[in-house]
Amino acid sequence: MNEPSLRQIRYFIAVANMGQVSRAAVELNVSQSAVTTAIKHLEDIVGVPLFDRHAGGMTLTFEGNIFLDHGRRVTAAVQEAVQSPRRSRETVKGTLRLAMTYTVAGYYIPPYLERFSQAFPRVKLQLTEAPRTAIEDGLVSGTFDLAVMLTSNILDQEGLAYDTLLQSRRRLWVSSQHPLLERPSVSLSDVANEPYIMLTVDEASNTAQRYWNRTSYRPGTKFRTSSVEAVRSMVAGGMGVTILSDMVYRPWSLDGRRVEVISLSDAIPTMDVGLAWAASIDQQPAVAAFREFMHLGEEQHVR
């Protein structure tokens, strides 16, 4: 039985990230035919379609989402293996007081924590979930050593330094039978005519308001909730639409109904995830190790 190559997995991840073969080819600096061929061979090896093809591009099937998770783990593990000689892991020890926001804790960081603990067994992780403002205060006061958070929500906080690990595009979520799926182009003006399900957790509603305020349109908010899964179920059930990031997107609601995504014609800011720390505090080896580890893990991921 043939086994997928690392190149095929990398091309698959790029298409999953970009939603289009053409954009993935530009990102990878290869031809579109090379990407298309790699994806076709990969699907032949796996034995199931990994993408649904449509006029707007390509979206992951249920099986494709499962493969994407495994594929990211494979590329991250390879990258870590290549870079491991940089640091003697057994010499890195201590406690790392790591803070994170809700969305990061639920949809991003767990696989990285697992791999970091395996790679640095002498580092004890002390984990805290907290809102952005509490994390910023805790970093400056020295309560936390480091944070993984939505860096796009940081607003010129004095005393903090941060860098971004990934940028997750925001797209429109609709039910599988929604009429907007038939349109060649969809804008915020179209979204304004639909009932809107507004997510509130991690300042999502404040972020949405900022880009809506750049237009003359406003979302027709029908329901506000702090639960991503509630949003997913309501959208899948046809109760409304929403705009959320690809990082929290899953194609199926908890009751098994499909959620589709549409790229909007308007410029919608990405949701940025990254590391933050106090600029004035010297970083201990465990902090430096985690920062390097996260950068290596995300080097090939742009969502």
- The predicted model gives 192-214 an average pLDDT of 95
CATH superfamily of 170-269: Periplasmic binding protein-like II (3.40.190.10)
What are the pLDDT digits (tens) for 250-300?
A: 999 988 999 999 999 999 999 999 999 998 888 889 999 999 889 876 654
Instruction: Answer yes or no: same fold for 92-167+272-297 and 170-269.
Output: yes
Give residue 302's pLDDT band: very low, low, confident or very high (50, 70, 90). Answer: very low
As a whole number of angstroms, the distance between CA 86 and CA 100 comes to: 27
User: Could you read off the pLDDT of 85-113 as tens digits, one per residue?
Assistant: 455 566 789 999 999 999 999 999 999 99
- Tokens 């640095």, located at residue: 120
Instruction: Name the residue ranges covered by the structural domains of the chain.
Output: 6-82, 92-167+272-297, 170-269
Give the CATH architecture of domain 6-82.
Answer: Orthogonal Bundle (1.10)
Q: Helix (H, G, I), strand (E, B), or coil: what is residue 281? A: coil
Q: Give CA–CA dist 168/248, Å, rounded.
A: 9
CATH number of the 92-167+272-297 domain: 3.40.190.10
Supply the pLDDT for residue 82: 60
The CA R_g of the chain, rounded to the nearest whole Å, is 20
Q: What is the mean pLDDT of residues 7-31?
A: 88
Three-state secondary structure string covering 194-227: CEEEEECHHHHHHHHHHHHCCCCCCCEEEEEECC
pTM of the model: 0.73
Residue 303: pLDDT band (50, 70, 90) is: very low
Percent of the chain at pLDDT > 70 equals: 93
What pLDDT score was predicted for residue 86? Answer: 53
Exposure string for 250-262, b = 16+ CB within 10 A, e = fewer: ebebeeebebbbb
